[in-house]
Amino acid sequence: KNQVEQSPQSLIILEGKNCTLQCNYTVSPFSNLRWYKQDTGRGPVSLTIMTFSENTKSNGRYTATLDADTKQSSLHITASQLSDSASYICVVRGGGADGLTFGKGTHLIIQP
């Protein structure tokens, strides 16, 4: 069964600090992996999307990595800001007719 596991479930850090969120998946075959940011009461917004051949991709202060061999991805946030407080969702797309498998998300809180 395709699964996407995210850790930690929640995280609280001080403004200005860095943090790394983890995503492990069992989806096979693999097509791509996306990280989304979802503010409370809003729809998810795409941060990065990576295919099998990509092992790192940046979007401003967000840097995602992908190890397709170990089926692991991480999202690193640099110099966190209060506006980074949100849920971060890892989504993996399988190959062929497979749809998307969603992780349960990491709830990140940035404290001043």
Partner 1 sequence: GAVVSQHPSRVICKSGTSVKIECRSLDFQATTMFWYRQFPKKSLMLMATSNEGSKATYEQGVEKDKFLINHASLTLSTLTVTSAHPEDSSFYICSAERGGYETQYFGPGTRLLVL
Q: Which residues bind partner 1 (CB under 8 A)?
A: 31-32, 34, 36, 41-46, 49, 89, 93, 99-100, 102-105, 107
Using CB atoms within 10 Å of the CB of residue 36, give its burial: 0 to 12 exposed, 13 to 18 middle, 19+ buried. buried
Please say whether the beta carbons of 107 and 9 come within 8 A.
Answer: yes
**CB closer to partner 1 out of 62 and 103:** 103
Minimum CB separation of residue 16 from partner 1 in Å reads: 26
Minimum CB separation of residue 13 from partner 1 in Å reads: 19
- The strand pairing partners of 32, in sequence order, are 51, 93
Please say whether the beta carbons of 106 and 4 come within 8 A.
Answer: no
Minimum CB separation of residue 33 from partner 1 in Å reads: 11
**CB closer to partner 1 out of 71 and 107:** 107
**CB closer to partner 1 out of 33 and 77:** 33
**CB closer to partner 1 out of 11 and 100:** 100
Q: How is residue 12 annotated by DSSP?
A: E
Please say whether the beta carbons of 78 and 63 come within 8 A.
Answer: yes
